[in-house]
């Protein structure tokens, strides 16, 4: 591969990694590599070095304290399924259907988020959970709402010198959820549409998140607001208006829009 000629850095802890990041603005962070190394099959003159952050100890947090879940950006999907499967079932379902076992052994939450694909499967559950990402650079830490962090396809608010270190969210009380991933086949399929609906019985609200039907994963805030009015049809109309699916190599805009409506409708039926 062309990148055999670029240097490889293997910092042993977060502060070394942050220092390298700052120093080498033309480098790329390598976590599981399952997105990056596919993208780097085509020569890329903007990537002049690789900094390996896979396995960095500070990125391995995996804990649920009370209702708060904290996941290190370096946690692989396999490890999450072993140690965090009961934290937040909609996310667990998403991760179980993601890629394949060998990919899940390497792929990380951080990579899935920073890669910012509209079809990234961890995102609809995390959007529905109003997750927050924690970013760190040599200058310090900042917290950003996930939906604000992701700006568009393959674009995030990550700044040069920053590393995503953690994802955090509150698991609501007694929620009911419905998660569906629609892919072309049962494994190793990127989503045509993915959907996560949450119903919070305490405050009688819903949250609706959709993947692969717009430049980013989308929350249907306006439709969510209509829930209290009890008019299912207008809520569904709101959803189909909001989503912006396209025709691409995987599916058609029409069918995707139809799926958004169908899955939302199914969710509403299940909670009613």
**Which one, 112 or 264, has the nearer CB to ligand FAD?**
112
Rounded to a whole number of angstroms, the minimum distance from the CB of residue 199 to ligand FAD is 24
| Phi and psi angles of residue 189, each rounded to the nearest 5 degrees, phi first | -130, 130
83 binds, among other proteins, ligand FAD, none (CB under 5 to 8 A by kind): none
Spatial separation of the C-alpha atoms in residues 232 and 223, rounded to whole Å: 10
SS (H, E, C) 178-226: EEEEEECCCCCCCEEEEEEEEEECCCCEEEEEEECCCCCCEECHHHHHH
Which residues of this protein are in contact with ligand FAD, per CB under 6 A?
A: 28-36, 38, 53, 73, 98-99, 103, 106-108, 110-112, 114-115, 120-121, 158, 163-164, 188, 190
Task: Answer yes or no whether residue 38 interacts with other proteins by CB under 8 A.
Answer: yes
Task: Answer yes or no whether residue 18 interacts with other proteins by CB under 8 A.
Answer: no
**Which one, 143 or 270, has the nearer CB to other proteins?**
270
Cβ-based neighbours of 16, under 8 Å, separated by 6 or more: none
Q: Which residues of 19-28 are buried (b: 16+ CB within 10 A; e: fewer)?
A: ebbeebeebb
β-sheet bridge partners, residue 195: 180, 210
Nearest residue to ligand FAD, by Cβ distance, number only: 111
Task: Answer yes or no whether residue 182 interacts with other proteins by CB under 8 A.
Answer: yes
CA 209 to chain CA mean position, Å: 11
Q: Can you tell me which of 28, 119, 132, 259 binds other proteins, judged by CB under 8 A?
A: 259
Task: Answer yes or no whether residue 60 interacts with other proteins by CB under 8 A.
Answer: no
Which positions from 105 to 144 touch other proteins by CB under 8 A, shown as an x/- string? Answer: xx--------------------------------------
Rounded to a whole number of angstroms, the minimum distance from the CB of residue 270 to other proteins is 11
Spatial separation of the C-alpha atoms in residues 227 and 131, rounded to whole Å: 22
231 binds, among other proteins, ligand FAD, none (CB under 5 to 8 A by kind): none
Tokens 């995390």 -> residue: 126
Rounded to a whole number of angstroms, the minimum distance from the CB of residue 210 to ligand FAD is 14
Spatial separation of the C-alpha atoms in residues 258 and 60, rounded to whole Å: 39
Contact at 8 Å (CB) between 130 and 107? Answer: no
Longest dimension (CA), the chain: 61
Strands 49-52 and 27-30: parallel
Which positions from 61 to 90 touch other proteins by CB under 8 A, shown as an x/- string? Answer: -----------------x------------
Residues at the site binding other proteins, with contacts judged by CB under 8 A: 1-12, 16, 20, 23, 30, 32-34, 37-38, 41, 43, 49-50, 52, 54, 78, 99-103, 105-106, 180, 182, 184-190, 249-252, 254-255, 258-259, 262-263, 266
């Amino acid at each position: 591969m062309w990148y055999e000629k670029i240097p490889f850095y293997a910092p042993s802890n977060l502060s070394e990694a942050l220092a390298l990041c700052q120093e080498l603005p033309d480098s790329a962070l390598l976590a599981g590599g399952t997105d990056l190394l596919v993208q780097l099959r085509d020569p890329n003159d903007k990537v002049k070095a690789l900094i390996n952050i896979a396995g960095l100890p500070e990125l391995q947090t995996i804990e649920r304290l009370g209702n708060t879940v904290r996941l290190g950006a370096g946690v692989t999907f396999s490890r999450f399924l072993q140690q965090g499967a009961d934290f937040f079932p909609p996310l667990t379902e998403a991760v179980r259907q993601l890629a394949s076992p060998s990919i899940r052994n390497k792929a990380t939450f951080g990579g899935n988020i920073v890669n910012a694909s509209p079809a990234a499967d961890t995102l609809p559950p995390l959007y529905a959970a109003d997750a927050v990402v924690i970013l760190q650079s040599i200058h310090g830490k900042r917290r950003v709402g996930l939906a604000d962090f992701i700006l568009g396809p393959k674009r995030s608010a990550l700044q040069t010198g920053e590393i995503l270190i953690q994802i955090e969210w509150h698991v609501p009380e007694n929620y009911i959820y419905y998660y569906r991933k629609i892919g072309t086949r049962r494994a190793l399929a990127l989503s045509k549409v993915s959907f996560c609906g949450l119903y919070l019985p305490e405050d009688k609200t819903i949250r609706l998140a959709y993947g692969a039907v717009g430049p980013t994963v989308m929350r249907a805030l306006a439709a969510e607001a209509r829930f209290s009015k009890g008019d299912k049809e207008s809520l569904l109309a709101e959803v189909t208006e909001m989503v912006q699916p396209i025709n691409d190599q995987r599916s058609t805009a029409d069918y995707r829009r139809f799926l958004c409506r169908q899955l939302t409708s199914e969710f509403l039926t299940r909670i009613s």
